[in-house]
Amino acid sequence: MFKPHPVSVGVGAPTFQDVINVARHGAPVELSPEALRAIAESRAVIDELAADATPHYGVSTGFGALATLAIPREKRMLLQRSLIRSHAAGSGDEVEREVVRALMFLRLSTLATGRTGVRVETATAYARMLSDELTPVVHEHGSLGCSGDLAPLSHCALALIGEGPVRDRDGELTTVPEPVALHEKEGLALINGTDGMLGMLVLAVHDLRNLLTTADITAAMSVEGLLGTDRVFAQDLHALRPQHGQQHSAANLRRLLADSAIVASHRGPEDTRVQDAYSLRCAPQVAGAARDTLAHAEQVARRELESAIDNPVVTPDGRIESNGNFHGAPVAYVLDFLAIAAADVASMAERRTDRFLDVARNHGLPAFLADDPGVDSGYMIAQYTQAALVSELKRLASPASVDSIPSSAMQEDHVSMGWSAARKLRRALDALAQVLAIELLTAARGIQLRAPLTPAPATAAVVAALDLQPGPDRFLAPEIAAATDFVKAGGPRRAAEAITGELA
């Protein structure tokens, strides 16, 4: 199994690949010497403020609506434990391991900036949990995305102090062997960030990039199988509308359809059709708009990776200041935007699939692509599954970020709901992968049925890699599941790129 090298966590921003390696591949982490120095320097500021007779928020006061209450020194370690215990109030199913590891890694990255005031011992213990693949149990519900992802991060902090369960690399429940006793300010530093929603955004950007290229591949296959034209993808036509994503998608389609005998077979004057349906003709416009949305989301994610989010925060000149940087609105908005884009790409893919199954629109293919129509139903119900998934995607496209609910005795009177936006985006991308898998199956079958005409070399490679076996009706669910796994793993893209070179 692929095991990446350790990821060094410094004072600068981690890369997307760093997040993927730690979250999905179990990469260990290590704090850089520069990070250890920065952590020690900011801790010295906190220690000085802790000895001050004047109360300082987060150091010697309560939290949230209780921020005006001064806490005596002998109770401050209890205050940190109480904060973590009370805020670890999530409920529902366990969150996926990769999400928990992503949010832990991103919180560690913020600790490493030296802007939070934690001790070196605490940061290194947090890093050790990641390296030892001890994953805290975090629950589905509890975060309002402001002040950051409090409940999810609190469950991780609870594990750090030895009071919360973790799962080891084999999935067995246990606790950390060396718990940490938190000092002043450390409780807040461990839980005040957008790390959960940001981690899910980074994972989603990675996954959606693959799915959008796959959508171009399935669209190209549908163009072939439905005897569509490639003339509408010409470079000069798309230059008239210089939307970057659209141009990339159209370029993909041109490369995927190059040298297609199927497409060439109906270029002559005997083809009386004036235009293809929108789901074929406008594929670059929709997938391209999704690409541009993805590019914006990636830009927001990169800025957030560069951020040091905590409240209060230790400034570079040694002040400790309250702030509102923990509000998740920038991340929440783009998470919602991506769910909208995923729903629309899926909706167009489902329409292309439906055309394959209808003898009035599939240009000579058997009804439902069945081996023996009437006796066999072919892909009839696979399209039902697609339709159900698209309907679900439309519901998931409803934005979470407009649904603020006041909390903390109206102190936190506007929240981002970014965690909720991220959770529904994960479900949306899973549904999109299934929708594209079903289009892949129907388009591949349509191409097979055009024999002896041959498809483009690139799409032929995808059909071969899919290894679709024609024949009478069979148990279809496993076939759809296998195609979905193929899509998620980047199988169509690898097969096509072996012919075309790297696609956008």
In the prediction, which pLDDT does 53 show? 78
In the prediction, which pLDDT does 60 show? 78
In the prediction, which pLDDT does 450 show? 97
Q: Quick one: 168 and 305 in the same domain?
A: no
> Which amino acid is located at 374 in the chain?
G
What distance in Å separates the CA atoms of residue 471 and residue 262, rounded to the nearest whole number? Answer: 22
**Last residue of a domain, which of 160, 193, 226?**
193
CA angle 195, 198, 204 (to 5 degrees): 140
Q: Which of 57, 278, 379, 384 is catalytic?
A: 57
In SS3 terms, 164-205 reads as CCEECCCCCEECCCCCCCCCCCHHHHHHCCCHHHHHHHHHHH
Q: Quick one: 222 and 166 in the same domain?
A: no
Say if residue 143 is preceded by a cis peptide, omega within 30 of 0.
no
Share of the chain above pLDDT 90, in %: 87
What distance in Å separates the CA atoms of residue 372 and residue 423, rounded to the nearest whole number? Answer: 43
pLDDT band for position 55 (cuts 50, 70, 90): confident
**Last residue of a domain, which of 167, 193, 219?**
193
Q: Quick one: 473 and 416 in the same domain?
A: yes
Task: Report strand pairing: 29-31 vs 7-9.
Answer: parallel
Q: Which residue has the higher pLDDT, 76 or 211?
A: 211
- With the C-alpha atoms ordered 293, 299, 302, 304, is the resulting torsion angle positive or negative? negative
Residue 274: phi and psi, rounded to 5, are -85, -40
Q: Quick one: 60 and 204 in the same domain?
A: no
350, 392 in Cβ contact below 8 A?
no
265: domain range? 200-500
Q: Quick one: 307 and 455 in the same domain?
A: yes
Once rounded to an integer, what is the mean pLDDT over residues 26-30? 98
In the prediction, which pLDDT does 185 show? 92
Q: What is the CATH number of the domain that holds 181?
A: 1.10.275.10
pLDDT band for position 69 (cuts 50, 70, 90): confident
205, 331 in Cβ contact below 8 A?
no
Task: Inform me whether the pLDDT recorded for 29 exceeds 60.
Answer: yes
Q: Quick one: 417 and 301 in the same domain?
A: yes
Once rounded to an integer, what is the mean pLDDT over residues 246-267? 96
Q: Is residue 130 part of a domain?
A: yes
Q: What is the CATH number of the domain that holds 402?
A: 1.20.200.10
Q: Quick one: 396 and 413 in the same domain?
A: yes
What distance in Å separates the CA atoms of residue 294 and residue 288, rounded to the nearest whole number? Answer: 10
Q: Is residue 45 part of a domain?
A: yes
**Last residue of a domain, which of 137, 162, 193?**
193
pLDDT band for position 59 (cuts 50, 70, 90): confident
In the prediction, which pLDDT does 374 show? 94
Q: Quick one: 169 and 217 in the same domain?
A: no
Task: Inform me whether the pLDDT recorded for 350 exceeds 70.
Answer: yes
Q: Is residue 1 part of a domain?
A: no
Percentage helix, strand, coil for the chain under 3-state DSSP, each rounded to 5: 55, 5, 35
For residue 51, what are its two tokens? 């000895």
Q: Quick one: 255 and 216 in the same domain?
A: yes
Q: Which residue has the higher pLDDT, 59 or 29?
A: 29
Q: Is residue 12 part of a domain?
A: yes
Distances (CA, A) of 159 to 125, 144, 164, 210: 11, 21, 4, 34
Q: Quick one: 12 and 132 in the same domain?
A: yes
What distance in Å separates the CA atoms of residue 210 and residue 207, rounded to the nearest whole number? Answer: 5
What distance in Å separates the CA atoms of residue 23 and residue 203, rounded to the nearest whole number? Answer: 9
For residue 384, what are its two tokens? 């039902």
Provide the 10 A C-beta neighbour count for residue 303.
Answer: 12
Q: Is residue 438 part of a domain?
A: yes
Q: Is residue 2 part of a domain?
A: no
Q: Is residue 442 part of a domain?
A: yes
In the prediction, which pLDDT does 71 show? 84
Tens digit of each residue's pLDDT (9 = 90 or more) over 364-383? 999 999 999 999 999 999 99
SS3 366: coil
Tens digit of each residue's pLDDT (9 = 90 or more) over 90-145? 999 999 999 999 999 999 999 999 999 999 999 999 999 999 999 999 999 999 99
What CA dihedral angle connects 151, 155, 158 and 159, to 10 degrees?
A: -170
In the prediction, which pLDDT does 81 show? 93
> Which amino acid is located at 2 in the chain?
F
Q: Quick one: 184 and 259 in the same domain?
A: no
Provide the 10 A C-beta neighbour count for residue 30.
Answer: 16
Task: Read off the DSSP letter of residue 267.
Answer: -
Task: Inform me whether the pLDDT recorded for 1 exceeds 60.
Answer: no
> Which amino acid is located at 300 in the chain?
V
Whether the full predicted model's pTM is greater than 0.75, yes or no, is yes
Q: Is residue 303 part of a domain?
A: yes
Q: How many distinct structural domains can be found in the chain?
A: 2
Tens digit of each residue's pLDDT (9 = 90 or more) over 406-464? 998 888 889 999 999 999 999 999 999 999 999 999 999 999 999 999 999 999 999 99
Once rounded to an integer, what is the mean pLDDT over residues 320-327? 91
Catalytic-residue membership of 57:
yes
In the prediction, which pLDDT does 52 show? 81
Q: Quick one: 179 and 205 in the same domain?
A: no
Tens digit of each residue's pLDDT (9 = 90 or more) over 302-323? 999 999 999 989 999 988 898 9
**R_g of the chain, CA atoms, integer Å:** 26
Task: Inform me whether the pLDDT recorded for 65 exceeds 70.
Answer: no
Tens digit of each residue's pLDDT (9 = 90 or more) over 150-196? 999 999 999 999 999 999 999 999 999 999 999 999 999 999 999 99
In the prediction, which pLDDT does 154 show? 97
